[in-house]
Amino acid sequence: MAGSKPTGNQAHEIELVRRSAVEWHIEPVGDMRVPGVVYASESLLPGVVGDRSLQQVANVATLPGIVAASYAMPDVHWGYGFPIGGVAATDVDHDGVVSPGGVGFDISCGVRLLLSPLEGEDVEPRLDALMDELGRSIPAGMGKGAVWNVSDAELDSILRHGASFAVERGHGSDRDLERCEDRGSVADADAAEVSQRAKERGLQQVGSLGSGNHFLEVQVVDSLFDSDVADAFGLHLGQVCVMIHCGSRGLGHQICSDHVKEMLDAMPAAGISVPDKQLACARVRSPEGRRYLGAMAAAANYGRANRQLLSEATRRSFAGIVGTGQLDLLYDVSHNLAKLEEHEVEGRKKLLCVHRKGATRALPPGHAELPAELAPVGQPVLLPGSMGTASYVLAGAENGHAFHSTAHGAGRVMSRHAARKQVGGKALARQLEGAGIRVRASSWKGLAEEAPFSYKDVDEVVAICEQAGLARRVVRLRPVGVVKG
């Protein structure tokens, strides 16, 4: 099957070889060092016209030090450098590189899920009032506005310590940190590598959704696939949950821009060439690589603090409207990050720089980084759907592939511009209200851009994740209220 036209200096066409019902390979040609591996059903494969993500999978396979394969998740679609839904690991001790395009502009964009003791029927009579209050208390949309207005010194502490600093200052509890990836704080963060411009952009956005596909959803558990794991996670049918999806806002975007430029300037002297300048990279152990990883970790800390502050605002809204602010964090995990991890490659343990760009870590049962109460069943994997459709909680698979990674969402199939041409924001809001979903949006234009039909079928994406052995389904969540940026 031929792919789309190359974007870089590789002149070959993309040929997919089907290995199973859910796995396709791009065999190495040209400068590719490893194969491409795409997890998808035939209907989920990127279109050969208008989506260059398969070429991006092949381009990523040319990166210095890459091991095993360049992977694409079932929600794969075109992105900056790497496809969104791309996973790639490089060998740190053998010229392995780190590429900001393998993380993305919204560094540490991720999802957290809060669990309420309430049932859907308990909330329904007050749902309109609750959504009104959430709409007022959750800063959303472009630009400034935040739950926590911090000083310069406090921002530096957030960059160094993330959600743990927020909790230390009274915004949450230690249990929130127990259920957050890296306990809410990446140890190698270096605030000194964050430019002044990046800090200025992030200063007044701590505790804000932003725009695009970010959201806060009130959801109800409507399907149960694994009752034992659901029990371990504290989930049951009819339960009200809140899912929060956002990242590091303008601060992360600026960090990506700053370090792409620095790496592009440094690559010729380092003897590195790539087929697409959007794959700008530096060896992990180089000064440029270390600087980016330190700044990226600081942005990750910012993203986790951001979601922590939004959690606290949500708890206050629930307390004021439905009488309880008890919303326990199930888990918080990023899907735009590069992490230094040990994995077995060809029978040997190696230190790898694992890029997950629009892909979620999915740790298996027994993994040392899991909290003790989650270790027997594996990591909760949070996979949001498009606005107006279902989201899922999955669990890490026993022998998960792609360095314990899985899809991060439904994945776009239509551009934002194309979506706006098909529906207006007000009309879409009426459609969603008719389906029982209350919508509070900061922009009608932004709402139209996120229309459910502009995304892949999330139920099929999740089914392929399970069939491919990436993660296991636990519960399905139905939205009843949405706050959109």
Annotated catalytic sites, by residue? 408
Locate 117 and state its tokens: 């003791």
Residue 469 exposure: Cα atoms within 13 Å on the Cβ side? 9
CB-neighbour burial class of residue 172 (10 A; exposed 0-12, middle 13-18, buried 19+):
buried
Let me know: does 475 contact 392? Beta carbons within 8 Å.
Answer: yes
The owner of tokens 């993380």 is 103
Locate 22 and state its tokens: 């859910």
Other Cβ atoms within 10 Å of 117 Cβ, number: 12
From 455, 471, 462, 411, select the one nearest 86 (Cα to Cα): 411
